[in-house]
Amino acid sequence: MTSSTHPASTGSSATPSTATVQMLTPDGERLDLDEGRRAELEQAVGAEALAHAAALTADDLLGMYRDMALARRVDTEATALQRQGELGLWASLLGQEAAQVGSARAAAPQDRLFPTYREHAVALVRGVDPAHVLSLFRGVDRGGWDAEATGVSPYTLVIGSQTLHATGYAMGVQRDGAVGTGDPARDTAVLAYFGDGASSQGDVHEAFVFAATYQAPVVFVCQNNQWAISVPAERQARVPIARRAAGFGFPGVRVDGNDVVACYAVVRAAADRARAGEGPTLVEAFTYRMGAHTTSDDPGRYRPSVEVEQWRDRDPLARLEAHLRRHHGVGDDAFAEVAREGDALAARLRRDVLGMREPGHGEMFEHAYAAPHAHVEADRRWYEEYVAGLEHGGAAADGEERA
């Protein structure tokens, strides 16, 4: 179905509506499998995306449910750990599981994903240990998971900057001859994640220009969760974000971000296009941030609770669960098994976090360069002397000139 009205517009009459692609209704019905809806959907997303959705098996769908449920369980545990003083901060993904799992599952193993700081489900799908993500929020690590092995670059807090890194990487991939060869194990796409607030950044617009000009293999995945901390999306974007792509010369699609099937299908088709050398696509996943911006934020000060309640009815997990129960005969046992797995993961995470050691003073210098570097060594010596001075009463290094 493509609906001509927002699933739940936050209200500004200045914001024109745009079609939102949906394949799984909140009640769990599959619209892409409905003969009557196919033509309308095909026009909105193309036959390839429909074929990708139709090819999903019951196992695939249960796998998506599991990914979303585990990500939500990690999120709940991380929020509790932060409240208990074990993490410095946490950016919850609650409500955004479908946009993240659908898009990440659409990526091929060789694709590279550039997240911001809320893509915990993306990381999970790609095999990043959530303990690594939590170590970053505990402040004992700088998020140093293996980007090569997982295909997930480090988190970025500088809003929108990773869209430029992603586009540069995609241009590199292109120059390495890994686009448009027709070899499915070689052709590579890049997914760049960012938020509605980030779409106001100059960096994002530069990334769009470069990606469009060079036909770089990038899928821009904007999770429009409708709030950039306390600023609503409608105050930043006078037209739906997906429509901006047209001005740069590439396709833009708005998809129901709480519908994991639609997110998967649309991003899969866009990534296929990118790998084939047909250039970038902007996918706006229209979703909602159910929690606070971070644990330092109080959304009750700026966000009407009725809006949150409306979105609770569109919960991405509940709709996939309804579909699996009604159309694939999945019963209580399977969901209980996923819940048990989630609890075990959460317990293991808690143990890991409580056991994380403080980093040594000099460790931040270790990965600045791959090989030893004289300036980095000088910085390290100065820093170690400075810290030693602090430990001996703060006098020794205070007045010293930096080397």
Ligand X SMILES: Cc1ncc(C[n+]2csc(CCOP(=O)(O)OP(=O)(O)O)c2C)c(N)n1
**Residues that are catalytic:** 289, 293, 302
Residues 403 and 388: their CA atoms lie apart, in Å, by: 16
Near ligand X by CB under 6 A: residue from 47, 58, 149, 157: 157
Q: Which is nearer to ligand X, 113 or 269 (CB)?
A: 113
Binding mask 220-259 for ligand X (x = CB under 6 A): -----x-xxx------------------------------
Residue 331 C-alpha from the chain's centroid: 29
Of the listed pieces 11-19, 57-65, 193-201, 377-385, which binds ligand X according to CB under 6 A?
193-201
Binding to ligand X in span 113-132, by CB under 6 A? 118
Length, in residues, of the chain: 403
Q: Does 159 bind ligand X (CB under 6 A)?
A: yes
Greatest alpha-carbon pair distance for the chain in Å reads 78
Place of tokens 């700026």: 302
> How far apart (Å, rounded) are the C-alpha atoms in residues 179 and 212?
15
CA distances from 237 to 20, 65, 232, 234 (A): 16, 32, 9, 5
Pairing of strands 281-286, 252-256: parallel
Residue 288 Cα distances to 255, 293, 298, 310, angstroms:
13, 11, 16, 10
Cross-strand bridge partners of residue 283: 221, 253
For ligand X, which is the closer residue by CB, 30 or 165?
165
x-marked contacts with ligand X along 257-296 as a string, rule CB under 6 A: --------------------------------x---x---
**Which residue's CB comes closest to ligand X?**
195
Mask of contacts with ligand X, 296-335, x by CB under 6 A? ----------------------------------------
Considering only 14-22, 80-88, 156-164, 317-325, which stretch makes contact with ligand X by CB under 6 A? Answer: 156-164
Exposed e or buried b for every residue in 356-382, given b needs 16+ CB within 10 A? Answer: eeeeeeeeebeeeeeeeeeeeeebbee
Enumerate residues 196-225 that contact ligand X by CB under 6 A. 196-198, 225
Strand boundaries in 247-365, DSSP class E: 252-256, 281-286
**Candidate segments 36-44, 157-165, 298-306, 324-332, binder of ligand X by CB under 6 A:** 157-165
- Establish if 88 lies at the interface with ligand X (CB under 6 A): no
Residues binding ligand X (CB under 6 A): 118, 157-159, 195-198, 225, 227-229, 289, 293
